[in-house]
């Protein structure tokens, strides 16, 4: 890690730094984490930062250690993201996000006739599959419709 | 293998062994379905038929199956009466009816409604058709017909008609792939089998062919599964007229058919099978309609655990 990158990640006292997000996806990462405008903690992000593998985004969430399930959701839109849990300016843990096998209430089904898009008391549910080309495919557990591209556009 | 309290939602929930078990059970119940043997297997059981859209054929087939087994039926009554329940969500309806009946057969216009119902039900749900996706009891009866009138293992089958929107052929493809069938899809280019399904089949090493004419396949298949081409799918009525005539099965076409060919159709048909075909030994579609009764008997009795 270069000193410059080191600085970006460790510049917060406590919280979570999500690094190596595909450039342009930082706002979607916040959405998928459910971090909205009314969030009280400091949230900052770097967009289009130069990285070893090209441009990337970085998101820093202060005062909050995100749990594994929340973090793994990120892999739907940023499969190469890494997560740093920080306490007292020290990187306590550093790990890659892992594609979950199942997600609930994260993405809306694209089939307008799907029961999950009605007023029934249910959440959207999808099984998550890695496609042959390495992308992510979501299959609705209710109607079996498949979302294979632009997943970020269908975030709840 | 136990089917007790199991829901019947999608064909994809069933393994080949489980499908075989349903078909074996249907075969045992066939004399009862024909009225040749009496049965009280469902004596004292109440089955709710919740049909939120009309499907007279499926409903009558279920009613026949239940009555022949001595079971009782409750339903939503007239369409006007059931529209009263529209103020209530389906989840609540299912929770309430679960307290009345021992099993629920659900027919509903929204995709995935049966899967959702199974999450709220305390009794088994049999999907009688939800939206445009699933209709598993139709697929079970198609498989039963093929097994009784021909054979399932390594079957040479052609499916013809509207393969793009036809849900019955989509789940039939999946089920037949478990038996190593060879499939040819006969359709006008506008109504071809979705590429995703063809790809899935090829991935399972299923031999798949595509054509737009019966002549290419008729001499080389054991089952011809016909479906209806629906006029409303076509933006241009003239286009429909052309396609309609191209996929019309006539007596003349059948001159080159193998002697043991069986023709299936989920019915109702419009004009895709000429009446003269009805009198040939190939026609199997009315028999197929009857087979819906023992098949639904099997699913009902297995799900309620009155047959192991
Ligand atoms: Zn859906």
Model confidence at A38, pLDDT cuts 50, 70, 90, reads low
Portion 185-204 of B in contact with A at CB < 8 A: 196
Please give the structure tokens belonging to residue B251: 């007596």
What positions of B carry a catalytic annotation? 57-58, 86, 107, 135
In the predicted model, is pLDDT for residue B100 greater than 70?
yes
CB contact under 8 A, A115 and B10: no
Q: Give the N- to C-terminal CA distance of chain B in Å, as an integer.
A: 8
pLDDT per residue as tens digits for the range B252-281: 999 999 999 999 999 998 889 999 999 999
Q: What is the mean pLDDT of residues B162-180?
A: 92
Q: How many CA atoms lie within 13 A of A8 on its CB side?
A: 20
Q: What are phi and psi of B163, to 5 degrees?
A: -90, -10
Model confidence at B225, pLDDT cuts 50, 70, 90, reads very high
Sheet of B46-51: strand order equals B72-75, B46-51, B103-108, B125-130
In the predicted model, is pLDDT for residue A3 greater than 60?
no
Confidence at residue A12, expressed as pLDDT on a 0 to 100 scale = 84
Distances (CA, A) of B6 to A146, B251, B302: 26, 44, 8
Contacts of A13 (CB under 8 A, 6+ apart): A62, A86, A88, A89
Confidence at residue A6, expressed as pLDDT on a 0 to 100 scale = 53
Task: Point out the least confidently predicted range of A77-81, B68-72, B107-111, B262-266.
Answer: A77-81
Q: What is the mean pLDDT of residues B79-97?
A: 78
Distances (CA, A) of A61 to A13, A32, A68, B198: 10, 13, 15, 46
Using a CB-CB cut-off of 8 Å, the residues of chain A touching B111 are 111, 113-115, 142-143, 145
Task: Among A68-82, B17-31, B48-62, B120-134, name the most confident range.
Answer: B17-31
- For chain A, the farthest-separated pair of C-alpha atoms sits apart, in whole angstroms, at 52
- B114, B116, B195, B200: best mutation site toward chain A, by most A Cβ within 10 Å? B116
Using a CB-CB cut-off of 8 Å, the residues of chain A touching B94 are none
In the predicted model, is pLDDT for residue A46 greater than 70?
yes
Confidence at residue B103, expressed as pLDDT on a 0 to 100 scale = 98
In the predicted model, is pLDDT for residue B87 greater than 80?
no
Round the average pLDDT of chain B to a whole number and report it: 93
Task: Point out the least confidently predicted range of A8-12, A100-104, B17-21.
Answer: A8-12
Distances (CA, A) of B145 to A94, B138, B273: 58, 10, 18
Model confidence at B203, pLDDT cuts 50, 70, 90, reads very high
SS3 A153: helix
pTM of the model: 0.90
SS3 B87: helix
In the predicted model, is pLDDT for residue B9 greater than 90?
yes
What percent of chain B has a predicted confidence (pLDDT) above 70?
Answer: 97
Model confidence at B176, pLDDT cuts 50, 70, 90, reads very high
Task: Please spell the DSSP secondary structure of B201-270, one letter per residue.
Answer: HHHTT--EEEES-GGGTGGG-SEEEE-PPPGGG-SSHHHHHHHHHHT-B-TTGGGGS-TT-EEE--S--S
Q: Rounded to the nearest whole angstrom, what is the distance from the C-alpha of residue B299 to the centroid of ligand 1?
A: 26
Confidence at residue A31, expressed as pLDDT on a 0 to 100 scale = 87
Identify the contact set of chain A against chain B, taking CB-CB distances under 8 A. 111, 113-116, 118-122, 140-146
- B112, B118, B129: best mutation site toward chain A, by most A Cβ within 10 Å? B112
Confidence at residue A40, expressed as pLDDT on a 0 to 100 scale = 73
**Residue in A121, A141, A144 closest to B133 by CB:** A144
CB contact under 8 A, B113 and A146: no
Q: What is the mean pLDDT of residues A23-40?
A: 82
Q: Computed over its alpha carbons, how large is the radius of gyration of chain B?
A: 20
Please give the structure tokens belonging to residue A46: 């770097």
* B125 part of contact set with chain A, CB < 8 Å: no
- Ion ligand 1: residue ranges with CB closer than 5 A: A 109, 111, 114, 140, 142-143, 145
Please give the structure tokens belonging to residue A49: 């930062």
**Residue in A119, A142, A144 closest to B116 by CB:** A142
Q: What is the ipTM of this complex?
A: 0.89
């Amino acid at each position: 890690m270069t000193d410059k990158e080191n600085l970006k990640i460790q510049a917060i006292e406590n919280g979570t730094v999500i690094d190596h997000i595909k450039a342009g996806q930082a706002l979607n990462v916040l959405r998928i984490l459910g971090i909205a405008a009314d969030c009280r903690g400091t949230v900052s992000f770097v967009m289009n930062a130069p990285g070893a593998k090209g441009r990337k985004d970085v998101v820093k969430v202060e005062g909050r250690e995100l749990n594994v399930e929340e973090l793994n959701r990120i892999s739907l839109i940023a499969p190469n993201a890494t997560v740093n849990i920080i306490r007292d300016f020290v990187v306590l843990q550093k790990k890659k996000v892992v594609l979950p096998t199942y997600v609930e209430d994260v993405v809306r089904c694209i089939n307008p006739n799907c029961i999950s898009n009605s007023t029934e008391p249910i959440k959207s549910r999808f099984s998550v599959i890695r496609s042959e080309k390495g992308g992510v495919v979501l299959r609705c557990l209710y109607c079996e419709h498949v979302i294979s591209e632009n997943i970020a556009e269908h975030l709840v | 293998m136990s089917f007790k309290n199991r829901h019947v939602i999608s064909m994809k929930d069933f393994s080949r062994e489980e499908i075989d078990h349903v078909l074996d059970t249907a075969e045992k119940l066939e004399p009862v379905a024909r009225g040749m043997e009496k049965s009280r297997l469902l004596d004292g059981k109440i089955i709710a038929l919740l049909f939120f859209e009309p499907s007279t054929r499926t409903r009558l087939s279920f009613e026949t199956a239940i009555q022949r087994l001595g079971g009782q039926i409750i339903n939503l009554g007239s369409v006007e009466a059931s529209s009263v329940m529209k103020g209530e969500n389906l989840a609540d309806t299912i929770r309430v009816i679960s307290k009345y009946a021992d099993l629920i057969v659900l027919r509903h216009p929204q995709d995935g409604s049966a899967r959702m119902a199974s999450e709220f039900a305390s009794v088994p749900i049999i999907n009688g058709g939800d939206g445009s996706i699933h209709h598993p009891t139709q697929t079970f009866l198609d498989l039963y017909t093929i097994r009784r009138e021909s054979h399932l293992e390594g079957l040479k089958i052609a499916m013809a008609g509207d393969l793009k929107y036809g849900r019955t052929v989509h789940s039939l493809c999946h089920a037949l792939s478990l038996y190593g069938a060879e499939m040819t899809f006969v359709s006008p280019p506008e109504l071809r089998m979705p590429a995703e399904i063809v790809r899935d089949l090829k991935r399972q090493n299923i031999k798949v062919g595509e054509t737009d004419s019966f002549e290419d396949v008729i001499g080389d298949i054991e089952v011809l599964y016909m479906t209806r081409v629906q006029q409303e799918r076509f933006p241009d009525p003239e286009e429909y007229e052309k396609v309609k005539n191209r996929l019309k099965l006539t007596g003349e076409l059948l001159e080159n058919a193998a002697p043991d060919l069986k023709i299936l159709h989920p019915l109702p048909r419009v004009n895709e099978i000429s009446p003269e075909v009805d009198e040939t030994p190939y026609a199997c579609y009315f028999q197929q309609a009857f087979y819906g009764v023992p098949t639904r008997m099997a699913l009902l009795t297995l799900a309620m655990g009155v047959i192991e």
